[in-house]
Amino acid sequence: MTKEEKVKFTIDTLNKLYPEVPIPLDHKDPYTLLIAVLLSAQSTDVRVNQITPLLFEVADNPYDMVKLSVEEIREIIKPVGLSPMKSKGIHGLSQILIDKYNGQVPADFEALESLPAVGHKTASVVMSQAFNVPAFPVDTHIHRLMYRWGFSSGKNVIQTEKDAKRLFPKDLWNKLHLQIIWYGRQYSPARGWDLDKDIITKTIGRKSVINEYYKNKK
């Protein structure tokens, strides 16, 4: 297969498996999505979706959030991990949204990335999922699969994002990055990986990855 054929096979397979793809983090608007994505750093979506209802019951907008102290926010979000940093970030960015953006989340990469505790990946998720602006946020699943499929070097997520944007059509980015995440969870996980069920990697994957898989199975 040529690289173009591999890309087409990947897109076609993902579209068959996930014609409609849900957003993993529960939210109702750009602000609650921003907070949920921030909380998901080094945590699981399942854990975040258990905690955000508790937080949003108390404060689901920046005006109510700043009425809470950093410590009160921290107590609620403690189960997701990194709560000292995340609680400061949530309180700080909520105040900035009030002061600079009339309480609204800006649909702008630079503005989002200037907010406390908001990095490029978080900004990309919000731009993609809340505002439908083409973006390709790279999480651990996408990083792993882009390497397994031979689409990226696996050096770092910055390079993986560049490679993904170069290979895949821009109008597919927003749906495709979610499709790859779901595929990685269900068919190509880091642990308990069964290559026979992983049709994309088995068909187009990096030979060294496939050989290593079978070597470790012996």
d(CA 199, CA 126): 30
The catalytic residue among 121, 165, 170, 198 is: 121
d(CA 171, CA 11): 12
Q: Which residue has the tokens 């997520």?
A: 157
The catalytic residue among 45, 86, 139, 163 is: 139
Amino acid, res. 67: K
CA-closest candidate to residue 160, choices 112, 124, 185, 192: 124
Residue 139 known to be catalytic: yes
Residue 12 known to be catalytic: no
- Sequence-distant (≥ 6) Cβ neighbours of residue 107 within 8 angstroms: 30, 127, 130, 131, 133
Q: Are 163 and 151 in contact, with CB atoms under 8 Å apart? A: yes
Catalytic residue set:
121, 139
